[in-house]
C-alpha cells in the first residue's frame, strides 16, 4: 500500500504513535508540510541519511513546532500557496501540554490555518518514561515512582482538549489508534476547516505502559471503553460528537499494564480512577442508552 | 536620499527595502521602535509581508526559522533577555543553515535588570554559528543590513547574520543617513532563491537526527563556512562600496593606525567617541589610533594580526564580561597573536560602559593614559568607588 510514512523506521514493536502518524499523513495527503517537535516520532523516523517521510518535514526543537509551523504557513500565504498546501504541526504529549504549550497557545490565538496533532502516549517516552502533564493519575513512571509514600503520578491528566477549545478555535477532537478510520475521518474533517485545529490521539507505548506489544490496539480500545479516554469532537466551541460506549470497569484497562499493576490490590485508588472515568462519562454523556453500540 | 532619521526608523526602512516576506518579533526595549515601524509599514501596504505577532522571542525566532525553511526571506529583531530566550533557536537556525537576518539592539543582561546598552547579549551568543556584525553608527547599521542579506543568502555561505547596533545610542539616536532607493537595493540584492526548502513538489526532511557517524562533519562544515565568509565579506563590502559609494572593509576598520604607538580596539558606537579622542590627541602630537572590529564572528584573526602586529601598545575595550575569565574580545585578540612572530609589547584589557554607564571622552583618554604604564588586565573604567563593597561597608 502506498503511504507517505514509509517503513524502515526504528520505532519499537507495537508503537501506537507510528501507527497514528501514518494514518494522519495518509489522510492529509501529499500536499502537506509537517513541522515536528523533538520526540520519539522525529527520532525514529528521520535518522540521517534516511527518512520515512514522503512529504516535506521540518524538525527544529522540542517545544516550537507550533511556531515553526506558523512561520511555514505565513510563508505559504506570502507565496500565495496557502490555499493549496496544508500545514501540520505535531508533537508528543510533553511537547504539547508542557514545554510546547505556550507556542501552541500563540499559534491558536493567531488563527493560523494549521492542524496540530498531539500524539498522547502519556509520558516522556523518548527520554525513558518520565511523567508529563498528560500522564494519568496514579501512573507509575520513572519520575512518579511508586513507594511506601507514593501510589504514582499525583494528578490527573491536564484537560488539553478543553484548554485548546477555550481558545475559540473551530475544531478540537480526541482520537485513538484503536479506531483508525475515526482518526482519518477527523483529520480529513479538520483539513476541510479553515483556521487552527487540534487533534489529540491516544497512542499506547508498550515500553512505557508495560503491556505486550501485540496488545496496543486492544489496550487503546479499553481506554475508550472504560471512559478513561473519551473520544469527542468540539466544533466552534460546542461538544458536537462523542463515541458512546458500553461501559467496562477501569480494572479491565489497568490490569493489562505494568504502569498500573500496583493499583490492583488497592481498592481506594481504584475507586479514585473509576471516579475519573465516571466523571468523563457524565461530562460527555458517553453511556449508550440502547446497547447497540 | 539623505534623511534625518532615528536609528530604528532607518533600520525599519532598509529592512522594508530588502523585502522580507515574513517578519516576526516580540517587543523588548530598545528594539521596539524597529518592529513598531515595520508593523506600520506593513499595515500601510508599503511592504508585502506577513507580520507575525508572537507570544515570545522563542517563537519569533521559530517563526522566521519556519518561514526561511519554506524558502522565504525573513526578518526578526530582539535584544538582551529576548536574545537569551531565543538562544536555543538561534543555534538551531545556524545549524540548519537558514539565511535569517536579525537586528540585535545590543543591551545588558539581568541581574540586576537594566535596559541600557552594553554588549553582553550579542557577545554571549558569539558561538551560536551566526555571522555577527557590529555597527558604529546609524549609517553603518543601515548598510550592514543590506550586506547581511546578500551575505546570508550567498549559495556558498547560507548562514544567518546578526546585525548588532548599540541599544538606545543607535536605536534611538538621530543621524542624517543615506537610505538607498528601491531600485538600487533591488539591483544589489536580487530575490532570494533557496537552494533547499520545504516544497511539496520536492519533499525533503530538514532537521533530521544525526548520530555520531555524521554530526561532526556537519559542525565542521559550519566552521569551514565561517572561514570562507572571512574571505567573502571584504569582497562583498567592496561590491557594496562600488554600488553605494560608502567604503567598508566588512571585517575591521583601522583609524590612524599608520604610525600609531597606542591603539584601542573596540566595537560599536564607542568607536565614534574613540575617533574624536584620537583626533584631539593627534592634534597634540600623540601617536594614537583605533582598530574597530565590525565582524566579531567569523573572527578576522589574520586581518587583526596584520593591523596590529607593529603597534607597540594595544588596549582592548570590552563592553561585556566572560565572568571569571578574560574579557571576550580581549581573549580573541590575544589568541590572534598566539604563535606569531610579531606582537605588540603589551595588550591591555579594559572593561567599560556596562549597563549604559556613559563612555565619555575622558574614559577613553584614561585608557590611553593607563595603557602606557603597564599591561592592564581586565581593569574596570569609571567604577564608582563609593558603591564598592569595602567602601560601602565603611559607611554602615
Q: Would B393 be classed as within a structural domain?
A: no
Query: What is the Cα–Cα distance from B104 to A106, expressed in whole angstroms?
Result: 23
Closest by Cβ to B92, choosing from A53, A61, A109: A61
Q: How confident is residue A293, by pLDDT bands cut at 50, 70 and 90?
A: very low
**Residue A95: DSSP 8-state:** I
ipTM for the predicted complex comes to: 0.96
Query: What is the Cα–Cα distance from B184 to B180, expressed in whole angstroms?
Result: 6
> So what's the pLDDT on residue B207?
98
- Cell of residue B349, nine digits: 584589557
B305 and B211 in one domain? Answer: no
B238 and B266 in one domain? Answer: no
Q: Considering only CB atoms, which chain B residues are within 8 Å of A72?
A: 66-67, 69-70, 198
CA distance A190 to chain B (A): 20
At B223-282, the pLDDT tens digits run 999 999 999 999 999 999 999 999 999 999 999 999 999 999 999 999 999 999 999 999
3-state SS, residue A242: strand
Q: How confident is residue B389, by pLDDT bands cut at 50, 70 and 90?
A: confident
Between A and B, how many CB-CB pairs are < 8 A?
157
Q: Would A291 be classed as within a structural domain?
A: no
| B214-219, long-range: CB < 8 A, 24+ apart | B214/A48, B214/A49, B218/B95, B219/B95
> Which of the listed residues B202, B225, B244 is the one where a domain comes to its end?
B244
Query: What is the Cα–Cα distance from B185 to B17, expressed in whole angstroms?
Result: 7
Domain boundaries, position B344: 253-387
Helix A101-110 and helix A65-79: axis angle, to 10°?
A: 30
Q: Would A7 be classed as within a structural domain?
A: no
Q: Would B187 be classed as within a structural domain?
A: yes
Name residues whose C-beta falls within 8 Å of residue A76's C-beta, 6 or more positions apart in sequence: A33, A82, A85, A87, B70
Chain-chain contact of B69 with A54 (C-beta, under 8 angstroms): no
B121 and B21 in one domain? Answer: yes
B227 and B197 in one domain? Answer: yes
> Which of the listed residues B221, B244, B267 is the one where a domain comes to its end?
B244
3-state SS, residue B183: helix
Segment B364-392 shows an average pLDDT of 92
Query: Is residue B378 within 8 angstroms of chain A, CB to CB?
Result: no
- Cell of residue B201, nine digits: 513538489
Number of domains in chain A: 1
- Cell of residue B350, nine digits: 579594559
> So what's the pLDDT on residue B203?
98
Closest by Cβ to A58, choosing from B21, B22, B69: B69
At A171-215, the pLDDT tens digits run 999 999 999 999 999 999 999 999 999 999 999 999 999 999 999
Query: Is residue B216 within 8 angstroms of chain A, CB to CB?
Result: no
Name residues whose C-beta falls within 8 Å of residue B40's C-beta, 6 or more positions apart in sequence: none
A260: left (phi over 0), alpha (psi -120 to 50) or beta: alpha
Number of domains in chain B: 2
Chain-chain contact of A71 with B52 (C-beta, under 8 angstroms): yes
Chain-chain contact of A106 with B206 (C-beta, under 8 angstroms): no
Q: How confident is residue A1, by pLDDT bands cut at 50, 70 and 90?
A: low
Query: What is the Cα–Cα distance from A151 to A24, expressed in whole angstroms?
Result: 35
* Composition of chain B by helix, strand, coil, percent to 5: 40, 20, 40
- Cα separation values, A276 from A240, A250, A260, B115, B198, Å: 22, 10, 15, 49, 43
Query: What does the mean pLDDT of chain B come to?
Result: 97
**Do the strands B2-6 and B174-178 form a parallel or antiparallel pair, or are they unpaired?**
antiparallel
At A49-99, the pLDDT tens digits run 999 999 999 999 999 999 999 999 999 999 999 999 999 999 999 999 999
Q: Would B18 be classed as within a structural domain?
A: yes
Domain boundaries, position A35: 16-284
B192, B69, A32, A111 alpha-carbon torsion, rounded to 10° = -100
Give the CATH number for residue B103: 3.40.50.970
Amino acid at each position: 500500500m502506498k503511504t507517505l510514512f514509509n517503513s524502515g523506521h526504528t520505532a519499537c514493536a507495537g508503537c501506537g504513535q507510528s501507527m497514528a502518524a501514518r494514518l494522519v499523513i495518509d489522510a492529509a495527503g501529499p500536499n502537506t508540510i509537517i513541522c515536528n517537535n523533538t520526540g520519539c516520532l522525529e527520532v525514529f523516523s528521520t535518522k540521517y541519511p534516511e527518512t520515512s517521510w514522503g512529504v516535506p518535514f521540518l524538525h527544529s526543537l522540542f517545544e516550537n513546532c507550533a511556531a515553526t509551523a506558523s512561520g511555514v504557513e505565513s510563508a505559504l500565504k506570502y507565496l500565495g500557496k496557502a490555499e493549496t498546501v496544508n500545514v501540520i504541526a505535531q508533537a508528543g504529549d510533553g511537547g504539547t501540554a508542557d514545554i510546547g504549550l505556550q507556542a501552541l497557545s500563540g499559534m491558536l490565538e493567531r488563527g493560523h490555518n494549521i492542524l496540530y496533532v498531539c500524539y498522547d502516549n502519556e509520558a516522556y517516552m523518548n527520554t525513558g518514561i518520565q511523567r508529563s502533564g498528560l500522564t494519568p493519575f496514579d501512573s507509575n513512571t520513572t519520575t512518579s515512582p511508586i513507594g511506601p509514600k507514593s501510589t504514582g503520578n499525583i494528578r490527573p491528566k491536564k484537560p488539553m482538549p478543553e484548554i485548546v477549545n477555550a481558545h475559540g478555535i473551530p475544531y478540537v477532537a480526541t482520537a485513538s489508534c484503536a479506531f483508525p478510520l475515526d482518526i482519518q475521518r477527523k483529520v480529513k474533517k479538520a483539513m476541510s476547516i479553515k483556521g487552527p485545529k487540534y487533534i489529540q490521539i491516544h497512542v499506547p507505548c508498550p515500553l512505557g505502559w508495560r503491556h505486550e506489544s501485540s496488545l496496543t490496539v486492544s489496550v487503546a480500545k479499553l481506554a475508550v471503553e472504560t471512559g478513561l479516554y473519551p473520544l469527542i469532537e468540539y466544533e466552534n466551541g460546542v461538544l458536537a460528537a462523542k463515541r458512546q460506549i458500553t461501559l467496562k470497569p477501569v480494572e479491565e484497562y489497568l490490569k493489562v499494564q505494568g504502569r498500573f499493576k500496583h493499583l490492583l490490590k488497592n481498592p481506594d485508588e481504584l475507586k479514585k480512577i473509576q471516579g475519573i472515568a465516571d466523571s468523563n462519562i457524565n461530562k460527555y454523556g458517553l453511556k449508550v442508552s440502547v446497547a447497540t453500540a | 536620499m539623505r534623511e534625518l532619521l532615528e536609528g530604528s526608523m532607518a533600520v525599519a526602512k532598509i529592512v522594508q527595502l530588502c523585502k522580507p516576506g515574513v517578519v516576526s518579533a516580540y517587543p523588548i526595549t530598545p528594539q521596539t521602535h524597529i518592529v513598531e515601524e515595520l508593523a506600520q509599514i506593513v499595515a500601510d501596504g508599503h511592504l508585502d509581508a506577513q507580520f507575525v505577532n508572537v507570544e515570545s522571542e522563542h517563537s519569533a525566532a521559530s517563526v522566521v526559522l519556519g518561514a526561511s525553511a519554506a524558502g522565504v526571506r525573513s526578518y526578526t529583531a530582539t535584544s538582551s533577555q529576548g536574545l537569551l530566550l531565543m538562544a536555543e533557536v538561534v543555534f538551531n537556525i545556524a545549524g540548519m543553515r537558514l539565511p535569517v537576518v536579525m537586528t540585535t539592539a545590543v543591551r545588558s543582561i539581568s541581574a540586576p535588570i537594566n535596559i541600557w546598552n552594553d554588549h553582553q547579549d550579542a557577545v554571549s551568543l558569539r558561538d551560536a554559528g551566526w555571522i555577527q556584525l557590529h555597527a558604529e553608527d546609524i549609517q553603518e547599521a543601515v548598510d550592514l543590513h543590506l550586506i547581511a542579506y546578500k551575505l546570508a543568502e550567498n549559495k556558498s555561505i547560507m548562514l544567518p547574520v546578526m546585525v548588532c547596533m548599540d541599544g538606545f545610542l543607535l536605536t534611538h539616536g538621530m543621524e542624517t543617513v543615506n537610505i538607498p532607493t528601491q531600485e538600487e537595493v533591488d539591483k544589489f540584492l536580487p530575490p532570494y532563491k533557496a537552494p533547499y526548502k520545504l516544497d511539496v513538489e520536492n519533499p525533503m526532511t530538514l532537521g533530521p537526527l544525526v548520530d555520531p557517524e555524521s554530526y561532526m562533519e556537519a559542525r565542521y562544515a559550519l566552521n569551514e563556512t565561517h572561514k570562507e565568509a572571512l574571505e567573502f565579506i571584504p569582497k562583498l563590502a567592496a561590491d557594496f562600496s562600488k554600488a553605494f559609494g560608502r567604503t567598508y572593509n566588512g571585517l575591521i576598520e583601522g583609524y590612524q593606525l599608520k604610525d600609531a604607538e597606542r591603539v584601542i580596539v573596540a566595537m560599536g558606537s564607542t568607536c565614534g567617541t574613540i575617533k574624536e579622542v584620537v583626533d584631539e590627541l593627534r592634534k597634540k602630537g600623540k601617536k594614537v589610533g583605533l582598530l574597530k572590529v565590525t565582524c566579531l564572528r567569523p573572527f578576522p584573526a589574520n586581518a587583526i594580526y596584520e593591523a596590529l602586529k607593529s603597534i607597540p601598545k594595544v588596549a582592548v575595550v570590552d563592553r561585556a564580561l566572560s565572568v571569571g575569565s578574560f574579557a571576550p574580545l580581549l581573549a580573541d585578540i590575544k589568541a590572534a597573536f598566539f604563535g606569531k612572530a610579531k606582537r605588540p609589547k603589551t595588550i591591555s584589557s579594559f572593561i567599560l560602559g556596562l549597563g549604559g554607564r556613559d563612555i565619555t571622552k575622558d574614559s577613553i583618554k584614561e585608557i590611553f593614559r593607563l595603557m602606557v604604564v603597564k599591561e592592564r588586565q581586565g581593569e574596570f573604567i569609571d567604577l564608582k568607588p563609593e558603591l564598592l563593597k569595602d567602601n560601602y561597608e565603611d559607611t554602615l
